[in-house]
Amino acid sequence: MSETPGVPVTTSTVDPDDWIGRSWLAFQELEEHVNRHPLVAWAWNLLRLDFCGIAFGALFFCLSLTPSLMPRTWLFQGLIGGCTAAIGYGIGVVLSKLVLRFWLRNQRWWPLRDRVMVTAKLGVVVVSGACSLAMIVPAARWQREIAALMETQGPSTLEYSKAFVVSIAFGALIISISRVLRDLVRLLARFLIRRLYLSREVSLLIGTAIVVVLAILLFNGVLVRGFFAAANASFGPHNDTTRAGVEQPIQPERSGSPASLSSWESLGFEGRNFVSGGLHANELAKVNGRQAKEPIRVYAGLETAGTAEERVDILVRELERTKAFERKVLVIAPTTGTGWVTPSAARGIELMYNGDTAMVATQYSFLPSWISFLADKEKALASGKLLIGAVQKRWAQQPEGHRPTLLIYGESLGSYAGQGAFDSLGDIRASGVDGVLWTGPPNFSNLWSTLVTRRWPGTLEARPVFDSGNTVRFAIGPDIDALAQQEWRTPRVLFVQHPSDPVTWWSPDLLFTEPDWLKEAPVGDRPSAMRWYPIVTFWQVAADLANAVGVPDGHGHNYGVSSVNGWAAIAAPSGWTPQDTERIRKALDDTASLDGPDT
C-alpha cells in the first residue's frame, strides 16, 4: 500500500495480503461508482460519517447508558441513546474541523500516510462499536438495580441489547436530518454567490440565517400548532365522555346532582369522576365505626360557564348551597391539566374527618399536565390564584370560631397552580390558611424553588430545611410520619417529594450545570450510581418523565396513599394516632377501585 501522502491507492500498489489496503480500495471504488449518480451520491453522503464524530457519538451513547432516576425500557433507552449519540457526533465533527483548520493543517506531518489513516479510522469504528456493545452489560445491571429500588422487574441483558439497534437507527435519522439542513444552507449559499456575487463566507452566513429562521417558523407555526391542534382534537372529545360505571350523583352535597348549579354534562370527564367518586356517609360509617356525614364535593368544568371568573362564582355559590362553610374542614384543590384531583387524597381527608369535609376544585384545561404546561402554564397559575382567592375571601366572611379549617392541596401541576396564589410564605400566613399539602411539586414552581434555594446551609437539596421548619417542611416518604409527631406553627406547609421523582428534579439547567441534589449523597430511592454528565443527564431525566408514574406507590411521581400521612402531619383531628393513619391507609387500599385508575 502507498506510503506517500496524497498518492492514490491503486490495485498495483496494494499487496494481496494487505486486507486493510484492499478494504480501503474497495471503499474508494464504491464511492466512485456512487458518485456517477447524483441522487444516489446525495443519499450516500447522508450516510457517510466523520470518524471523530463517531468517537464522540459512541462516548455520549455509553454515558447515556448510565443510570438515572427511573428504570428505562430498551425502547426508551434506544431513543435517548440515539439522541445523545447524535449530539455527541455533532460535537465531534465541529471539534475535528476546528482542530484541522487551526492546527493540523499547519503541521508538516499532516496529512498522515494512507496506512496510518486507514488503520486509525478502522480502529475508531471497531473500538467505538465494541465499547458501545460492551456497555450494555453494566447498563442492564444498573437497570435491574433501579428496578429493585422501585420494586419492579428489570430487563435481561439480552433484552436490553435491543437499545443498541434502536439508538443506531434513531441517531442516524437525526444526523441525516441535520445534513439535509446543511445541504440546504449550501444550496442557498451557491445561489447567492452566483446571483449576488457575495463571498463564500457571507453567503454561508446568510444561508444559515435563512434556514434557521425557516426552521423556527416551521416548528412554531406548523409543527407546534399542529401538535396542539391534534391534542385538542384528541383530548377534547374525551372530555365529553364518561368512564364506565360513573353515574350522576343524587346527593345534594355533590356538584352535578339535580340540586347543583353545575350541570352533570358540564363537568367534563375528570369532574364527573370526582363528584361521583369516593365514599358516601354509610360507607364512611362502616370504616370508622360511627355515624358519618356525606362529604361535600364541589366542582366546575370548562363548560360550566363561559369564563374562569364565572366558574369560580358558581363554585362559591355551590359552597354556600351545600353549607360547606359549616363543615370542620374545607379543602381547596387546584387541579392538574385535565381537571384531575388525586382520588386517594380526596378520600383520605374524608375518611380522616368521617365525611365532615368539603372539597372544591375547577377545571382549566382538558389537556394532560405536560401538554397544558407547554401550551399555557400561565393558565394554571391564574386558575389557582383565582380559585384560592375567591374561596378564601368568602371563608373569611364567616365569624371567627365558626370557620372550617382551611386547607390547600395540590399534586404535580395542581401544586404548581396552588403555589401561584402566593408570592411567599408571608402571603400564606396572611391568608389565614391553616395548612398546605403539596405533593410532587414541579421544578419550575416558583415558591418551591425559592424555598429550596434559600434552604439552610448544610442541608440537602433533596431534603432541605428552611427556617428550622417552623412553618414549611419538606419530606420524602419515610419522613412524613415523624413530622406528624412534631409540633410546628400554623399554617403548616408541607412539600412531599420523592428523590426519584423526575417531575421535581428535571430542569433545563441540567444541560450544563450539575445540581446540588446530584452532588449530594443519595437519599431515599435515588440510585447511588447516578452521576451528572453535561447534556446527557438532561436527556436522561427528560426521558424519565415519560415513565414517572409507571412505578409503584412511593416512587417516582406516584404519591398514592402518602397523602394520608401528609394530612396527618398538617391537619390531624384531635387525638389522632399513627395507628389511625395506618387504618385509613388500609381503607384506601381496600376502596381504591371506587375511583378507577389515577390519570
* pLDDT tens digit sequence for 4-52: 444 444 444 545 555 555 555 665 665 566 556 565 555 555 556 788 8
Coil/strand/helix, residue 299? strand
Residues 6+ apart with CB under 8 A from 30: none
Q: What is the pLDDT of residue 238?
A: 74
Element (H, E) at 323: none
Distance CA 550, CA 539 (A): 18
pLDDT at 405: 97
**Between the CA of residue 197 and those of 69, 191, 203, 209, 595, what are the distances in Å?**
55, 9, 9, 18, 71
In a 13 Å sphere around the CA of 304, the CA atoms on its Cβ side amount to 32
The reported pLDDT for the residue numbered 320 is: 97
How many angstroms separate the CA atoms of 203 and 196, rounded?
A: 9
531 class by beta-carbon count within 10 Å (0-12 exposed, 13-18 middle, 19+ buried): middle
Residue type, 526: R
Q: What is the pLDDT of residues 362-409, one digit of tens each?
A: 998 877 766 666 666 788 899 999 999 999 999 999 998 899 999 999
For β-strands 405-411 and 329-332, DSSP reports them as parallel
- Cell readout for 33 is 461508482
Could you identify the residue written with the cell 377501585?
593
pLDDT in tens, 319-338: 999 999 999 999 999 998 88
Name the band, by pLDDT with cuts 50, 70 and 90, for residue 599: very low
Q: 485 pLDDT exceeds 90?
A: no
Give, in order, the Cα–Cα distances in Å from 597 to each of 41, 98, 121, 594: 54, 55, 54, 9
CB atoms within 10 A of CB 213: 10
For residue 126, CA distances in Å to 29, 129, 512 come to 22, 5, 30
Dihedral (Cα; 532, 446, 72, 592), 10-degree rounding = 150
What are the structural domains, with CATH classification, of the chain?
Answer: 49-197+505-554 (no CATH), 240-498+559-592 (3.40.50)
Model confidence over 514-571: pLDDT tens digits?
999 999 999 989 999 999 999 999 999 998 988 888 888 889 999 988 899 999 999 9
Residue 421 contacts by C-beta under 8 Å, 6 or more apart in sequence? 384, 385, 387, 388, 389, 427
Once rounded to an integer, what is the mean pLDDT over residues 139-156? 92
Q: What percent of the chain has pLDDT over 90?
A: 59
pLDDT of residue 1: 41
212, containing H or E segment: helix 200-218
Radius of gyration of the chain (CA): 30
CB-neighbour burial class of residue 233 (10 A; exposed 0-12, middle 13-18, buried 19+): exposed
Residue 302: all three cell numbers together: 370548562
Amino acid 108: pLDDT? 82
